[in-house]
Amino acid sequence: MSTFLQYSQADTGPDPQVSVIWMHGLGDHGSSFVPLVKEFDLGNCPPIRFIFPHAPERNITANGGYYMRAWFDIYAGFEDSDMEDSEGIIESRDQIITLIEQEKRRGVPADKIFLAGFSQGCAMALYTGLCYPEKLAGIIGLSGYMPLMYSFPDDRNPVNQNTPIFLAHGTQDEVVPFSRAEDTLKLLESLGYKVDWNAYHMGHTMSLPEVQDLSAWLTKLLA
Distance of alpha carbon 90 from alpha carbon 97, whole angstroms: 10
Is 54 known to be catalytic? no
State which amino acid sits at residue 49.
Answer: R
> Which of the following is catalytic: 28, 73, 85, 173?
173
| Contact residues for 170 (Cβ-Cβ < 8 A; gap 6+) | 143, 178, 199, 200, 201, 202, 203, 204, 205, 207
Is 201 known to be catalytic? no
Is 169 known to be catalytic? no
Distance of alpha carbon 183 from alpha carbon 145, whole angstroms: 8
> Which of the following is catalytic: 29, 85, 92, 119?
119
Long-range contacts of 210-218 (CB under 8 A, 24+ apart): 210/142, 210/168, 211/36, 211/39, 211/40, 212/41, 213/166, 213/168, 214/40, 214/140, 214/166, 214/168, 215/40, 215/41, 215/42, 216/41, 217/164, 217/166, 218/40, 218/42, 218/45, 218/114, 218/138
The length of the chain, given as a count of residues: 223
> Which of the following is catalytic: 8, 196, 204, 215?
204
As annotated, the active-site residues are 119, 173, 204
